[in-house]
């Protein structure tokens, strides 16, 4: 039985027609057209979610490529666990915290909760105590019948783990794996969805007119603030700083890092394109073009800036320039012109290079440049909406600034508190001996490149 047909309400579509046309129209073609649109919307949102899932492979290869051989397995392990933890915790409480609904706000439009699980009927279905036809029919009628409940949950669940993945690279090569997993569990289950509810769930920022199309703030800077907290409490890697000197600890594989960036770039078309939340061909094509413009301009900006600052075109900086452009355009991909998207991406690529250098001078050891890519450019991209939004959008710089500051004021202290409690209870940093030997052997008892460790990473 096709339960999705329960959502097809021809009257919704007929209501958009002139009265005389509605009276003359044959209901069968209207129903068929509605069902076709419903199906296409669902397919595109699910494809978008699958592309976002591919981004985890990108993060895994970027981070492992920019870290040393002795920690490669550890990076891969964390990036394998993060999407699993993120998706499951989002099902337990995250989705209900992020999208509580109008009747479930507990503290103004700041904190809402619709209950554990994904709704009573859904939980009943999962436990085998509900009528599947009834639950599926309600899922299909979700959001006015534009797409199913399950499509929305799948897509949003893929976003949930991304914020924690950002943290992984910044704290690489010295954090205990169990400490990182506990942090991910708490941060993704509670902090990320509550902050997201302020904008995407109809909270107080949404009411003020704050705009973050696909997550420059709610995903990237939320992850970036957590990364900053982790870097501060962990301290730098052994050997990174010696007196006034900054010692380069280069990653072991530029090919891996490059593959990762291209995986992320591809996944971003689902990240931004799927956030249209429909299969509208004009909106999707426009968003994909602005996304592409932002990435390309970010590459050019970082390449030029690295030649100015470092005297040579640094490839790792150029890769981060691509990601910086993508992060920056994510907030306004739907509401800025193509020319503006190029400017936003170019600025993102330009600022990512000095940002990496400044964080290094501040002794904030970030092996992959996550702070510069996700935090700095998440802030820039969100503010850029207030500067470059197309006429008639109504987005203001002041409102965007309020959103950036308010999210930072909550995300950073929360992450700092979680890391601090973990440090006081179970510890967050591996021993000096284990760090020098490598987390692959110390934390996992295996090597990414057996037999080659000694020669490749001394």
CATH of the domain at 220: 1.10.3430.10
Position 130 scores a pLDDT of: 58
3-state SS string for 270-339: HHHHHHHCCCCHHHHHHHHHHHHHHHHHHHHHHHHHHHHHHCCCCHHHHHHHHHHHHHHHHCCCCCECHH
Which has more pLDDT, 31 or 55?
55
Residue 148 lies in a domain: yes
Range of the structural domain that residue 413 is part of: 34-456
Q: Note the pLDDT of residue 428.
A: 96
The larger pLDDT score, comparing residue 312 to residue 118, is at: 312
pLDDT at residue 118 greater than cutoff 90: no
pLDDT at residue 103, rounded to an integer: 86
pLDDT of residue 458: 47
d(CA 6, CA 137): 5
Residue 17 lies in a domain: no
Q: Inform me whether the pLDDT recorded for 455 exceeds 70.
A: no
158 touches 52 (CB < 8 A): yes
Task: Tell me what the mean pLDDT of segment 380-404 comes to.
Answer: 96
Which residues have CB under 8 Å from 216's CB, separation 6+? 327, 328, 330, 331, 332, 377, 378, 379, 381, 382
- Over residues 59-103, the pLDDT tens digits come to 999 999 999 999 999 999 999 999 999 999 999 999 999 999 888
Work out the average pLDDT over 219-236.
97
Does 10 fall in a domain?
Answer: no
- Our count of domains for the chain comes to 1
pLDDT at 425: 96
pLDDT at 137: 66
Residue 7 lies in a domain: no
More confident residue, 351 or 137: 351
In angstroms, the CA 176 to CA 439 distance is 8
pLDDT for position 135: 62
Q: Is the pLDDT of residue 25 over 90?
A: no
pLDDT at 235 over 70: yes
Residue 54 domain flag: yes
pLDDT digits (tens, 9 = 90+) for 283-295: 999 999 999 999 9
pLDDT of 52: 96
Per-residue pLDDT, averaged over 32-36, amounts to 82
Give dist(CA 298, CA 350) in Å, integer: 7
Beta strands in 14-93 (DSSP E): none
Q: What is the pLDDT of residue 214?
A: 96
pLDDT (0 to 100) of residue 18: 40
99 token code pair: 């999208």
pLDDT over 70 at 15, yes or no:
no
Nearest to residue 377, comparing CAs of 410, 431, 332? 332
| The residue to which tokens 């019948």 are assigned | 145
**Does residue 34 have a pLDDT over 90?**
no
Return mean pLDDT, the chain: 88
Examine the pLDDT at 241 and tell me if it is beyond 70: yes
The answer to which of 131-145, 165-179, 342-356, 390-404 has the lowest mean pLDDT is 131-145
Whether residue 342 is contained in a domain is answered as: yes
Average pLDDT over residues 383-398: 96
Q: Averaged over 221-247, what is the pLDDT?
A: 95
Could you read off the pLDDT of 413-447 as tens digits, one per residue? Answer: 999 999 999 999 999 999 999 999 999 999 999 98
Q: How confident is the model at residue 131 (pLDDT cuts 50, 70, 90)?
A: low
What is the distance of C-alpha 77 from the center of its chain? Answer: 19
Distance CA 434, CA 450 (A): 17
Q: What percent of the chain has pLDDT over 90?
A: 77
| Closest to 256 measured CA to CA, from 69, 64, 73 | 64
Q: Assess if residue 39 is contained within a domain.
A: yes
12, part of any domain: no
Could you tell me where the beta strands, DSSP code E, fall in 53-127? 105-107, 111-112
pLDDT for the residue numbered 6: 30
Question: 103 Cβ partners below 8 Å, 6+ apart?
Answer: none
Q: Bigger pLDDT: 327 or 1?
A: 327
Identify the pLDDT of residue 452: 63
Q: Please, which residues have CB within 8 angstroms of residue 183's CB and are 6 or more apart in sequence?
A: 164, 167, 226, 230, 415, 418, 419, 422
């Amino acid at each position: 039985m096709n339960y999705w047909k329960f959502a097809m309400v021809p009257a919704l579509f007929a209501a958009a027609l002139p009265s005389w046309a509605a009276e003359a129209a044959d209901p069968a073609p209207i129903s068929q057209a509605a069902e076709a649109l419903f199906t296409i919307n669902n397919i595109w949102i699910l494809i978008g979610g699958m592309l976002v899932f591919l981004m985890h492979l990108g993060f895994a290869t970027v981070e492992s490529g920019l870290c040393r051989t002795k920690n490669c397995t550890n990076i891969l392990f964390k990036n394998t666990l993060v999407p699993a933890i993120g998706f499951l915790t989002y099902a337990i409480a995250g989705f209900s915290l992020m999208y509580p609904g109008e009747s479930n706000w507990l503290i103004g439009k700041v904190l809402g909760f619709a209950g554990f699980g994904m709704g009573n009927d859904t939980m009943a279905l999962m436990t085998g105590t509900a009528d599947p036809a009834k639950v599926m029919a309600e899922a299909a009628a979700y959001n006015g019948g534009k797409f199913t409940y399950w499509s929305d949950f799948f897509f949003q669940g893929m976003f949930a783990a991304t914020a924690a993945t950002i943290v992984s690279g910044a704290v690489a090569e010295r954090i205990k794996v169990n400490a990182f997993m506990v942090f991910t569990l708490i941060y993704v289950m509670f902090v990320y969805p509550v902050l997201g509810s302020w904008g995407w769930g109809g909270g107080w920022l949404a009411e003020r007119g704050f705009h973050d199309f696909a997550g420059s703030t709610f995903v990237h800077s939320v992850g970036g603030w957590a990364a900053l907290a982790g870097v501060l409490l962990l301290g730098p890697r052994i050997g990174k700083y010696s007196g006034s000197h900054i010692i380069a600890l280069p990653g072991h594989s530029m090919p891996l890092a490059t593959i990762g960036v291209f995986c992320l770039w591809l996944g971003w078309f689902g990240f931004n394109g799927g956030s249209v939340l429909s299969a509208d061909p004009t909106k999707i094509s426009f968003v994909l073009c602005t996304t592409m413009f932002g990435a390309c301009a970010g590459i050019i900006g970082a390449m030029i800036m690295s030649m100015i600052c470092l005297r040579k075109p640094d490839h790792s900086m150029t890769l981060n320039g691509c990601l910086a452009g993508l992060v920056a355009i994510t907030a306004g991909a739907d509401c800025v012109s193509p020319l503006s998207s190029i400017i936003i991406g170019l600025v993102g690529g330009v600022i990512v290079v000095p940002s990496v250098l400044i964080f290094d001078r501040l002794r904030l050891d970030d092996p992959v440049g996550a702070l510069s890519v996700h935090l700095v450019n998440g802030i820039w991209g969100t503010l850029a909406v207030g500067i470059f939004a197309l006429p008639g959008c109504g987005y203001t710089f002041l409102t965007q600034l309020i959103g950036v500051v308010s999210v930072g004021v909550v995300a950073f202290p929360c992450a700092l508190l979680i890391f601090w409690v973990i440090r006081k209870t179970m510890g967050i940093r591996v021993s000096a001996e284990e760090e020098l030997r490598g987390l692959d052997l110390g934390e996992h008892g295996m090597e990414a490149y057996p037999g080659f460790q000694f020669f490749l990473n001394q």
